[in-house]
Structure 1
Amino acid sequence: MRLLIWIFRIVLFVLLFGFAIKNDELVNVQFFFGEMRQFPLVFVMLAFFAGGALIGASITGLSALIRRREIARLRKQLRHFEERAADRALVVQDGARAPEAH
């Protein structure tokens, strides 16, 4: 299995390396205030891909954190309701036994 993973990684690296070689032309990137610089196309594409991945990972992490807190709140609420139900069951059982004792 590890061999297949390494083969996949090598093939992916070769494909991405070939893509980078084919897209080495310079492109103009215009910043604010009229500033313009030239960068290789592959770097611009990589920067936007990395930025998008970072934003996506941040949103996913935030969503997971919110869900984890909600699950903890619901578990606490469930424990509270289970304790109340157990207390009521004890009261009902004690109430049923009390008349027999008299």
Structure 2
Amino acid sequence: MRFIVWLLRVVVFVVLLVLALGNIQDASLQFIPGYTWTAPLILIGLVFFGVGLFAGVLAAAPAIVRQRLEIARLKRQLKSAQEVPPVVDEPPLPPII
């Protein structure tokens, strides 16, 4: 199974490398009037991929922090519950005559 996963990774890498090498011509982006950014198409794609990755991590960060705090709280509760000796509720002994 690991071999298949690594083979798939190599195939994806080679396909993306061929795509990158095939798109080295310059492209122009006009963000605001009067400002144009000219760069290789693959560099523009890489920049936008990085920006999207950063935005995704930034959007997921609050949920991840909240989950880690909850996990830490639950671990503290579990540790304190394990330290307290269990209370055994036994019925009273019958009177000795």
Q: Distance in 2 between matches of 1:72 and 1:37?
A: 47
Structure 1 residue 52: Cα displacement: 0.6
Which residue number corresponds to residue 23 of structure 1? 23
Structure 2 distance, partners of 1:17, 1:44, is: 15
The change in CA–CA distance for 1:78 and 1:13 in structure 2 (over 3 A counts) is: closer
Aligned partner of 2:9 in structure 1 is 9
1:10-31 Cα shifts (integer Å, max 9, x gaps): 1011110122133233211234
Q: Detail structure 1 runs of 4+ shifted over 3 Å in the superposition.
A: 70-80
- Alpha-carbon distance change, 65 to 37 in structure 1, aligned in 2, over 3 angstroms: same
**Structure 1 unaligned blocks of 5 or more:** 81-85
Residue correspondences, number = 96
Larger mean CA deviation between 55-64 and 5-14 belongs to 55-64
Q: Percent identity?
A: 32
Q: TM-score normalized by structure 1?
A: 0.59
Distance 2:60 2:71 in 1: 16
Runs of at least 5 residues in structure 2 that lack an aligned partner in the other structure: 81-85
Q: Report the structure, 1 or 2, having the larger helix content.
A: 1
TM-score normalized with structure 2 length: 0.61
Letter in 2 for 1:54: F
2:45 partner amino acid? M
